[in-house]
Amino acid sequence: MSRHLSVLSVLCMIIVAGYVVPVRAGEPEASKKVLRAGMIGLTTSHVMAFTGVVNDPNATGDLADVEIVAGFTGGIEDNPSSWGRREKYTEQLREKGIKIYDTIPEMLENVDVVFLEEVDGRPHLEMARPVIEAGKPLFVDKPMAGSLADCVEIFRLAKEKNVPCFSSSSLRFGSGFQAARSGKSEFGQIKSCTAWGPMSIEPHHPDLFWYGIHGCEILFTIMGTGCETVTREAQEKVVGVWEDGRTGTFEARKGYGAEVVGTKGSGNAGKYESYKPMVVEICKFFKTGKPPVSMEETLEIYTFMEAADESKRQGGKPVSMAEVLEKAKKANEARNK
């Protein structure tokens, strides 16, 4: 049963010009459309976490304007993190009254917007293609894809079809990290940043894509774009140099956070604040079509992570971000011929 119908327990009767007009308590206004959302790839804990936030009967604001109504199970056979959880999450969604479809195209006929949630980034490009072709606004969960080339291609297709699309880690939306980015925090303008998070590795993805994305997202949230070179100083330490001479470092550690040095002081810039802030931003994006994170910034984050692997292959030498991105674009050109 729909979240919005479940709260309609009282019928109010209004007498208007001699007519009795039924008005359901809590019912959205006729002009207010609740967007039907579908989920592709029911293989990550985000599936249930996001559904709990979006479909909360007490949801307000942008969350109240979206409802998750459909899913496509997905899963990839050579990754236990994917196939090992899909049945459990699929069944949990069914128990919540969410319809599970056998194919992505079938699901797309019955939704307005899409969460791409497959935990493995490798199938994301092929899963995104029909969504973009159908013109449905698309949020792609981390990792955006299994390679920088696939990230570039997803955004190229979305831009070509004028389909709103973005990808992000939930760590971006922590209030402390956002304040540091704005320059309005107690630290002033940021001169350098060391961000951290876990870095468990999945063998089919570049080292940082699988879980290092969270710490890298913090780093770029605070530093902004403009990274020019990347050096893999150690297996668990990556240093970037920005065009204005600032430095940003990712380190693999337990927990999430960032230490910054600014024009007014230094210290800890923030912490993880749950999924909800990001889910709110996703729902707002679905309504407005305006991504909270630019394509350019997201591609720079994934270029940084891919460059970290390239530097590792070169024995820790500095690697040009521009050259790594250009290599990915040429790979796509060759693929699309």
Rounded distance between C-alpha atoms, residue 122 and residue 114, angstroms: 18
Q: What angle do CA 173, 245, 328 make, to 5 degrees?
A: 65
pLDDT of 5 > 60? The answer is no
- Quick one: 179 and 245 in the same domain? yes
Rounded distance between C-alpha atoms, residue 101 and residue 116, angstroms: 14
Q: pLDDT at position 141, please?
A: 97
What does the pLDDT look like over 146-176, one tens digit per residue?
A: 999 999 999 999 999 999 999 999 999 999 9
Beta strand extents in 168-300 (DSSP E only) = 190-197, 227-234, 237-242, 247-252, 257-262, 266-268
What does the pLDDT look like over 47-101, one tens digit per residue?
A: 999 999 999 999 999 999 999 999 999 988 888 877 788 899 999 999 999 999 9
pLDDT of 13 > 50? The answer is no
> How many structural domains does the chain have?
2
Distance, first Cα to last Cα, the chain: 48
pTM of the model: 0.89
Mean pLDDT of 242-266: 97
- Quick one: 203 and 66 in the same domain? no
Q: pLDDT at position 20, please?
A: 35
- Quick one: 323 and 255 in the same domain? yes
Residue 258 counted as domain residue: yes
Mean pLDDT of 253-264: 96
CATH of residue 64: 3.40.50
Which of 101 and 5 is assigned the larger pLDDT?
Answer: 101
Residue 151 counted as domain residue: no
Q: pLDDT at position 3, please?
A: 55
CATH of residue 307: 3.30.360.10
Which of 120, 152, 185 terminates a domain? The answer is 120
- Quick one: 205 and 264 in the same domain? yes
Q: How far is CA 136 from the centre of its chain?
A: 16
Which tokens go with 156?
A: 């190229």
Name the residue range of residue 189's domain. 171-278+299-336
Residue 125 counted as domain residue: no
What does the pLDDT look like over 300-335, one tens digit per residue?
A: 999 999 999 999 999 999 999 999 999 999 999 998
Residue 93 counted as domain residue: yes
Could you tell me which of 304, 279, 298 has the C-alpha nearest to residue 159?
298
